[in-house]
Structures are given as C-alpha cells and as structure tokens.
Chains A and B, each alone.
Chain A
Amino acid sequence: MIALENVTKRYGSSTVVDDVSIAFGAEGVTALIGPNGAGKSTLFGLVGRLLKPDAGRVSVDGQDVATAPSAALATTLAVLRQDNSVAARLTVHDLVEFGRFPHSRGRLTVADREHIERAIDYLDLQDYRNRFLDELSGGQRQRAFIAMVLAQDTKYVLLDEPLNNLDLRHMTEIMRLIRRMADELGKRIVIVLHDINVAATYADRIVAMRDGGVVADAPAREIMRPEVLGAVYDTPVDVREIDGKPVALYYG
C-alpha cells in the first residue's frame, strides 16, 4: 500500500496538504476526487518524490520514499503527470522504450523488448509506433504515455487527470482501458478524476479531498450521496439512480 503518515506540505504560508494520514492503492482502481486546489496533485507529487513533505512520512510497500533509492521505487510505482510536453521529437516507440529505463538503464534486453511490444499492443498503438508524438491526436498521445507507464511494469500506477481535454469517446476508451489494466493485469491504479460520474462508474474506491485534507475514503457507492458530494465540492449535488447506477447531477 501507499501510506502517508501525518504528511504536511506548505507552499510559503499556505498549507496545501494538511496533516494527512491515509493508506491507498488497494487492488483495483482508486479514484482521487476533490475540487481544484484540494491538494490532489500535490499528494501525487509527494508520493512520486517530486516534492518533499515538510512533515510526516510517505512510504510505498514499507519503503520510505525519502530514503529508498529512486531507481528501486521506479520499479514499484509509476506516475503519469498532468502536463506531458516533450521538447524533443520522439516517436511513440521511443517513448514506450523509456518505460523500461528503471529496469535496464537504457540498455534494452529481450525481456524489455517484449514488455514494450506488449504495452504497444495493449494500447492498440501498432499503427502509430513510428509516428512522432506531435503528429498524434490528444487521445493517441495520452495512450502513448499510458503505454510508457505500462511498460514500466510496476505494481502501482498513479495517473494525474489522464482525461484532460479528451472528448467523450476517447475518455471512455481510456477509462475502459484503465479498468482492464486493473482487472486483467492486476495493476493497482490510483487516478485523479474531475468527473465524479466517471469515478463512480470505473473506480472501486473513491478518496475525496478538500482543503488539503482527506474528507472521505470509501467504496465508490458510499461516496455517491448528495450530502457527501455536496460537502466535498461545496456545491449542491443531487444523486439519482439510473439503471441501478448512481448518477450525480450538478448542473443548473
């Protein structure tokens, strides 16, 4: 499990993650929800060792993130950030190859090549493998980055808003894929989502954050209640049942 113990992170005088203690990353898909500025990306940054906590301890399967060798952690935990702009011209294949860096330090073995092929097949990128990233559509690009993370072959996969700027079709495509990665490949996926209906449909568990703290951590179904969602987002949210699925209504 990914465990945070009394973790605090401040930027100047504002506290973005406030004394959080939580363990997440159980089998299946865990969605991390909450309004903008709740501290979701900061939490990912702390787990992904991009940020150092001001207080507290972050560990992955018992290894302290602050002291464990970075290369060893990279074989257990993969993080895909929100903003993935690349200055150089890379092909899809080049990008996916990078996923094997923690294992082979860039010297690819036969096993590495197999992992790369499998990741490319899994994300249905065979036809694009030699395309440059700047020649791809948003959905294809996102799939290429997920393929890289998949090739990294880690137990935990953290995805920070992978649905940004994707249309309906690509959004559901990516979410179905993430679900399959959890069910077929046994990946433990933690994903930051903005659309609570998407979270309710595809995630097993939902962790809700607000003002730098965790306000709810429960199976998806239990989070999908008007009083819980209303409190998380500070906005009236109605929840109706459609075909046995809870659907949140927050428009109008």
Chain B
Amino acid sequence: MLTDPTVAPTSTAPSARVRLAAAWAQPWVRLAVLGAVVLALVAVYLFGQVPGSLSFALEYRSRTVAAMLVVSTAVGVSTVVFHTITQNRILTPSIMGFDAFYVLISTVIVFVSGSAAFLAFDQLTLWITQIVVMVAFSVLLFTWLFGGKRRSIHLMLLVGIVLGTFFRAFTEWMQRMLDPLDFQVLSDAMFASLTRPDETLLTLTAVLVVLACAALVPLRRTLDVLTLGEPAAVGLGVDHRRVVLVLFGSVSVMIAASTALVGPILFFGLIVANLAYSYAGSFRHVWTLPTAVLLGMVCLLGGQLVLERVLGYGGTLSTVIDFAGGLFFLYLVLRKGAR
C-alpha cells in the first residue's frame, strides 16, 4: 500500500472526483463539453492569424465554417440514421452508390462537352441536376426493392453496391478515354473541398439539410426503437415501412445536397458516427445525432486548422480526413482484435 497512514482520508477530494464522474456520465454534460470545444475551435479559426483586413478574413472564413457545419450535419446525421436503419455500424450511405453517381454525372459532362464547357457550366444547374438525379436514383432503388412485396433492406443494399460498382467502372472507362487536360480538370474537381463554396449553393444546401433534419425530429424516439431491429420495432407498433421511407428520403436528400456542394466526403461519416456512439454516453438519438454533428465539426475544423496553420498547406482537407480516418480505423480493428 502506498497510502500515507498519517494523512487522514480527505472527504472532499474523492467526492469531487465522484461528482465529476457522475456529471460526466450525463449525456448533456458530454454534449456541452463538446459544444464548447467546437466553439473554441471556431473562435481560433475565425480570429487567429489574420494576415490583412479582419472583416475580409471573417467573411471568407465564416463561409467555410458554415459549409463545414452544413456538411458535418448532413454527413453525421445521415450516417447515424443509416446505421440505425440497416442495423450495421460499419456501413456508410456511400455504399448505395451516391458518390459514384456524383462522379459519374460530372464525368459524363466532361466526356460529352469537354472540360472548358464543364468549368463554364452553371454551378446552380449542375447542383440541381446532381441532387435530382441522386435522389431519384435512391428513391427508385428504394421503391423497387423495399416498397414492394419483397421488403428487404439487405437486398436493397446489395443492389446498391452492385450499381455503385457499375457506375464506378463506367466512370473509369470514360475517364480513360478523356484528354489528359480534361482528366486533370475533372479529378481536381472531384476532391472534396470546403474552402470555396458558392454562397447561393451553400444557402440552398443548408435549407435542404435543415428540412431533412426537421423531418427527423418527430421520429427521434422511433429511431431509438429501431435500434432493437425490425421485428421488435414492428412488435412495438412502429409502422416500419413508412418510417424507413421517411428516414431514407431524408438521408438521400442530405447526402445528395452535401455531395453536390463539396464533393464526396462520406468516409468521414463512418468515423464521426462511431466516435459519437462511444462518446455520447447514450444510445438515444437525441444525444448521438448532435454528438455526431459536433464531432464532425471538430474533425473538419481541427483538420483545416492543422492543414492551414500548422502544415501551412492550402490544399484540400479530404487528404487529412482520409489519413486520420485510416489511423482511426486501424485503431478500431486492433482494439477489436485485442478483446
């Protein structure tokens, strides 16, 4: 024993620690701490290292922060909801071929009309086209494989994977036939980029994401029940097909809107959602959903700060996210193996 017998056990120190532990067990305390971290990062990002005019920097940077908030909401919320629907925590909605579709649409435009026309293409038209096509694709897949008599989520996922692979192969085939210059313009455009969002598109995306989230609010408790799986949820009176239709629709809109805004960034949802499950301290969606969004902000803002201020890069954030995500995944795999 290393305790000093001359010192009487103080009652304040352990009870403070106990109280702290009890507070930390509360989901709202954890969420509040996370919120404070996000606010601090936002402050550092907005006000730190201003090279010239503060108002110019603020305008430019706040738009990036807004884009990050929109993207982390869309990706975080849709991934958690997708996990709940599918009862599987290592999937992302990208398995349904959303991002593959996005790249395919852009590639077709470059392939048909060349990179000059692609760059001159009206951003708003492109954005709307991409959203409409992506949402239409997922709704079609859904009604075909889930709305009918078969009602199998797994069949739907499987067909989604097959179609996604087909789109990727088709895209690759077209890209190979492209002029090298066209190809370079295209691949540059396909890196997710958060730092130069178009203001109109950002506003429109934010509106869509807010609407999709609003559709989820009345379903938050039903989502909790869905974690028990379809049979149990049906037994507890959940109209599974209708609920999953609404959830899936909102996931599709969020993913389509945010992918059309910044490009494919879905891998990041997997990290954020899994971190949220262990951080939130509750399985309830009231806590896991906002936690996932805030963790997304920490990842994106933290990554951007490291990239810009520490490494001095002006490059894209997706490389940092992929690098950190890879490390996190190794950790998950190794930890699972050790148990």
Interface flag for A207 (CB, 8 Å): no
Q: Which residue on A lies nearest to B277, using beta carbons?
A: A88
Residue in contact with B236 in the complex, picked from A72, A90, A102, CB distance below 8 Å: A102
Q: Which of A50, A75, A107 contacts B234 (CB 8 A)?
A: A50
A204 at the binding interface (Cβ < 8 Å):
no
- Asked if B228 contacts A70 (CB within 8 A), the reply is no
Query: Which A residues are in CB contact (< 8 Å) with B228?
Result: 84, 86, 98
B26 close to chain A: CB less than 8 A: no
Bound CA span A99–B225, Å: 10
Q: Does A128 contact B (CB under 8 A)?
A: no
Kindly provide the distance from the CB of B252 to the nearest chain A CB, expressed in whole angstroms: 22
Q: Are B227 and A88 in contact (CB under 8 A)?
A: yes
- Contact call A81/B283, Cβ cutoff below 8 A: no
Contact B235 A107 (CB under 8 A): no
Q: Which of B221-280 contact A (CB under 8 A)?
A: 221-222, 224-225, 227-232, 234-239, 277
Of B89, B149, B222, the contact of A87 (CB 8 Å cutoff): B89
A48 CA to B231 CA in the complex, in Å?
9
Q: Are B237 and A87 in contact (CB under 8 A)?
A: no
In contact, B283 and A106 (Cβ under 8 angstroms):
no
Given the known A-B contacts A70-B239, A90-B283, are A48 and B225 also in contact in the complex, defined by CB atoms under 8 Å?
A: no
B221 touches A105 (CB 8 A): yes
Residues 206-227 (chain B) with a chain A CB within 8 angstroms: 221-222, 224-225, 227
**Residue from the list A72, A75, A81 in contact with B231, Cβ < 8 A:** A81
**Nearest-neighbor residue (CB-CB) of A106 within chain B:** B221
Tell me whether B165 is interfacial, beta carbon within 8 Å: no
> Which of A187-245 touch B at CB < 8 Å?
none
Task: Determine the distance from Cα of A83 to Cα of B225 in the docked complex, in whole angstroms.
Answer: 16
Contact partners of B230 in chain A: CB under 8 A: 50
Most buried by A among B83, B224, B227, B236: B236
The answer to whether B229 and A152 touch across the interface, beta carbons within 8 angstroms, is: no
Asked if A249 is at the interface (CB within 8 A of a chain B CB), the reply is: no
CB-based contact B87/A98 at 8 Å: no
Residues of A with C-beta under 8 A to B149: 52
Q: Is A87's CB under 8 angstroms from B238's CB?
A: no
Check A81/B89 contact, CB under 8 A, given A86-B228, A89-B283, A106-B221. no
Cα-based distance from A69 to B277 in the complex (angstroms): 33
* CA A116 to CA B335, docked complex, whole Å: 36
Tell me the A26-80 residues at the B interface (CB within 8 Å). 48-50, 52, 69-75, 78-80
Cα distance A85–B283 in the bound complex, in angstroms: 15
1/0 per position for B275-309, CB-CB distance to A under 8 A?
Answer: 00100000100000000000000000000000000
Report Cα–Cα, A88/B87, bound state, in Å: 9
**Cβ of A122 under 8 Å from chain B:** no
User: Could you say which of B88, B229, B238 contacts A70, with CB atoms under 8 Å apart?
Assistant: B238
Contact present for B236 and A74 (CB under 8 Å): yes
- CA A81 to CA B235, docked complex, whole Å: 9
Q: Which residues of chain A have C-beta atoms less than 8 A from B227's C-beta?
A: 86-88, 90
B217 to chain A minimum Cβ distance, whole angstroms, is: 13
Query: B225 touching A106 by the CB < 8 A rule?
Result: yes
From residue B288, how far is it (CB to closest CB) to chain A in Å?
A: 9
Interchain nearest-CB distance for B279 vs A (Å) = 13
- Provide the A165-204 mask, 1 if CB < 8 A to any CB of B, else 0: 0000000000000000000000000000000000000000
Give the residues in chain A near B236, CB-CB below 8 Å: 74, 98-99, 101-102, 152
Kindly name the residue among B221, B225, B234 whose own CB sees the greatest number of chain A CB atoms within 10 A.
Answer: B234
- Which chain B residues border A85 with CB–CB below 8 Å? 229
A145 to chain B, nearest CB (A): 9
Q: Give Cα A83 to B232, complex, Å.
A: 10
Known: A71-B237, A102-B237, A106-B222. A87 touches B87 (CB 8 A): yes
What residues of B have a CB within 8 angstroms of the CB of A152 in the complex?
236
- The interface residues of chain B lying within 8 Å CB-to-CB of A87 are 83, 87-89, 227, 229
At the interface, yes or no: A161 with Cβ under 8 Å from chain B?
no
* Chain B hits for A75, CB < 8 A: 237
Q: Give the residues in chain A near B283, CB-CB below 8 Å.
A: 88-90, 94
Closest to B227 in A: A88
In the complex formed, the residue of A with least CB distance to B224 is A106
Residues of A within 8 A of B224 (CB): 98, 106
Q: Is the CB of B89 within 8 A of A70?
A: no
Q: What are 8 A-B pairs at a CB distance below 8 A?
A: A70-B237, A70-B239, A71-B239, A79-B231, A81-B235, A88-B277, A90-B283, A101-B238
Q: With A75-B237, A87-B89, A98-B224 given, name 8 new contacts (CB 8 A).
A: A70-B234, A71-B239, A85-B229, A86-B229, A87-B83, A87-B87, A90-B227, A106-B222
